[in-house]
């Protein structure tokens, strides 16, 4: 098989790395890909959002399966145009991608299908939104409705910081048109987890529960980021929570989308808040998580490709389900200043030395090849990922490897996966 992965981030690098190991796969292509993706032939001139160019490339290179990594092309309907051109595609239609592309669509869908979630209200007018938070009084969460690269969310302790967030999103339009509409949600308490369900629109195969670390600083403080690290499996999703998540959230969502005429093909990423064993949906995403995927791909024992291909072709029920015996941890090395402003073009040292450990893979999120090595090119630069027989072993390996990588201004968290360590954090 020939598999084309659309995208260029750390998540796509992890997918490319895993797909390349499949005995069924003869060749992996990536568009645009990145300088760090040594496992794939990259096509830097083909953007992940350019349906016409992807079709041309896929036909020219006789690609059997296209896997779309990021949310923007999915929201823009790239999966639809590829399917119309006769290609097998892993990734939802634009209609199904609204589960991520519009937070209000997702909330209204969950209301229709009795899927557990926080109370919410929607506003298009700044003054009305300000009046609402003042009247409610307590903690809340303010969200730009549209896509804002995981950053258009403010978790607020009270009406003052909620008002500031509303002014930033709706008044200053920090996230552009994504802030034309906002949701104000009940602030849920508990512990978060990411749960992944691959679906062909009918059947479901789930992956190991994972946990992301979204805040910039240790101890879950600082700004929300795209994700500073991840690990799997996450013990907060025990067997009972997993059962409830499947019965109350995953199956009703896949069934509801099918019944509403938008069958969900791809991976449904359920952002969960779990309290006293009760899971509720914080958000849906319609693609793999970054950096959870880096950890999940290392942690998965078997072949991912039959799942991706089975989902794309509507035959997921016939795909062998890979084992997931090990644990994995991904520590993100970010540019100083991320998620706000940061410099790029800074030389990175030590990637090879970090990868000398056979249980470590360094996935590239934002790097560029320059001379013999790499320089920084993005906010999140590398995902240093390690596997181990348990989270604690994988964590030690990931940090030992991360210690070998240096670039000026590097920022990372020191507490990735601490929650899963015996006797810690929970």
Peptide bond into 233 cis (omega under 30): yes
CB 13 within 8 A of CB 363: yes
DSSP state of 356: T
Residue 236 phi, psi dihedral angles, 5° rounding: -60, -25
Smallest distance, ligand AMP to C-beta of residue 291, A: 13
Show the DSSP H helices in 61-125 as ranges.
71-75, 78-84, 94-101, 103-112
Applying CB under 6 A, the span of 179-187, 314-322, 390-398, 416-424 interacting with ligand AMP comes to: 179-187
The site partner of 292 among ligand GLY, ligand AMP, none (C-beta below 5 to 8 Å per kind) is ligand GLY
User: Which residues touch 211 (CB under 8 Å, ≥6 apart)?
Assistant: 192, 193, 194, 230, 231, 232, 234, 236, 292, 417, 419, 420
Q: Binding to ligand AMP by residue 228, rule CB under 6 A?
A: no
Tokens for 33, please give them: 């890909």
Which residues within the stretch 105-124 sit at the binding site for ligand AMP (CB under 6 A)?
118
Smallest distance, ligand AMP to C-beta of residue 183, A: 9
Applying CB under 6 A, the span of 82-90, 183-191, 254-262, 408-416 interacting with ligand AMP comes to: 183-191
The Cα 224–Cα 226 span in angstroms is: 7
Tokens for 409, please give them: 């201004």
- Which single residue is written with the structure tokens 């946990």? 211
Among 71, 100, 283, 303, binds ligand AMP (CB under 6 A): 283
Smallest distance, ligand GLY to C-beta of residue 274, A: 16
The site partner of 141 among ligand GLY, ligand AMP, none (C-beta below 5 to 8 Å per kind) is ligand AMP
Smallest distance, ligand AMP to C-beta of residue 229, A: 13
Select from 101, 10, 118, 3 the least CA-distant residue to 61.
Answer: 3
Judged by CB, which is closer to ligand GLY: 248, or 290?
290
Which residues within the stretch 234-273 sit at the binding site for ligand AMP (CB under 6 A)?
271, 273
- With residues binned 3-state (H G I as helix, E B as strand, rest as coil), the percentages for the chain, rounded to 5, are 35, 30, 40
The site partner of 290 among ligand AMP, ligand GLY, none (C-beta below 5 to 8 Å per kind) is ligand GLY
Judged by CB, which is closer to ligand GLY: 6, or 87?
6
Q: Binding to ligand AMP by residue 184, rule CB under 6 A?
A: no
Q: Binding to ligand AMP by residue 192, rule CB under 6 A?
A: yes
DSSP state of 42: E
Residue 314 phi, psi dihedral angles, 5° rounding: 80, 20
Return residues touching ligand GLY (CB under 6 A).
150, 212, 227, 285, 289-290, 292
CB 179 within 8 A of CB 173: yes
Smallest distance, ligand AMP to C-beta of residue 297, A: 21
Q: Binding to ligand AMP by residue 375, rule CB under 6 A?
A: no
The site partner of 122 among ligand AMP, ligand GLY, none (C-beta below 5 to 8 Å per kind) is none
Q: How many CA atoms lie within 13 A of 206 on its CB side?
A: 20
The site partner of 396 among ligand AMP, ligand GLY, none (C-beta below 5 to 8 Å per kind) is none
Judged by CB, which is closer to ligand GLY: 212, or 309?
212
Beta bridge partner(s), residue 121: 184
Q: Measured in Å, how far apart are the chain's first and last C-alpha atoms? A: 44
Tokens for 107, please give them: 């909330």
DSSP 262-273: ---EEEEEEEEE
Smallest distance, ligand AMP to C-beta of residue 37, A: 27
Which residues within the stretch 149-178 sit at the binding site for ligand AMP (CB under 6 A)?
150, 153, 155
Residues at the contact surface with ligand AMP, assessed by CB under 6 A: 118, 141, 143, 150, 153, 155, 185-188, 192, 214, 224, 271, 273, 282-283
């Amino acid at each position: 098989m020939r598999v084309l992965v659309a995208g260029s981030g750390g998540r796509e690098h992890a997918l490319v790395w895993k797909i390349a190991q499949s005995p069924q796969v003869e060749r992996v292509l990536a568009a645009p890909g990145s300088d760090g993706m040594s496992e794939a032939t990259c096509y830097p001139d083909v953007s992940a959002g350019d349906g016409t160019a992807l079709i041309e490339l896929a036909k020219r290179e006789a690609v059997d399966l296209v896997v779309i990594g990021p949310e923007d092309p999915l929201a823009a309907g790239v999966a639809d145009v590829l399917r119309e051109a006769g290609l097998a595609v892993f990734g939802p239609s634009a209609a199904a991608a609204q589960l991520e592309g519009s937070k209000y669509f997702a909330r209204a869908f969950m209301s229709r299908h009795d899927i557990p979630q926080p109370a919410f209200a929607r506003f298009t007018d700044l003054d009305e939104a300000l009046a609402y938070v003042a009247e409610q009084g307590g903690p809340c969460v303010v969200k730009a409705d549209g896509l804002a690269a995981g950053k258009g969310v403010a978790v607020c302790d009270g009406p003052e910081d909620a008002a500031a967030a509303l002014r930033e999103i709706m008044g200053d339009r920090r996230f552009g048109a994504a802030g034309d509409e906002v949701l104000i949600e009940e602030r849920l308490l508990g512990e978060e987890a990411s749960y992944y369900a691959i679906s062909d629109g009918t059947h479901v195969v789930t992956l190991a529960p994972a946990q992301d670390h979204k805040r910039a600083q240790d101890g879950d403080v600082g700004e929300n980021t795209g994700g500073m690290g991840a690990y799997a499996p996450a013990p907060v999703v025990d067997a009972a929570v997993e059962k409830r998540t499947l019965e109350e959230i995953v199956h009703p969502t896949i069934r509801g989308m099918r019944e509403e005429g938008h069958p969900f093909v791809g991976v449904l990423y359920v952002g969960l808040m779990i309290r006293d064993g009760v899971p509720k949906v914080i958000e849906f995403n319609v693609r793999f998580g970054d950096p959870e995927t880096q950890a999940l791909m290392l942690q998965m024992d078997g072949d991912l490709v039959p799942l991706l291909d089975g989902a794309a072709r509507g035959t997921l029920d016939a795909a062998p389900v890979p084992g997931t015996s090990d644990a994995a941890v991904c520590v993100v090395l970010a540019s100083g200043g991320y998620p706000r402003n940061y410099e790029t073009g800074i030389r990175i040292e030590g990637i090879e030395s970090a990868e000398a450990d056979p249980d470590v893979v360094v996935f590239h999120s934002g790097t560029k090849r320059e001379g013999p090595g790499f320089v920084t090119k993005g906010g999140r630069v590398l995902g240093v990922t390690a596997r181990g027989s348990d989270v604690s072993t994988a964590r030690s390996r990931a940090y030992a490897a991360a210690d070998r990588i240096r670039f000026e201004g590097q920022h990372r968290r020191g507490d990735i996966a601490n929650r899963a360590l015996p006797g810690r954090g929970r």
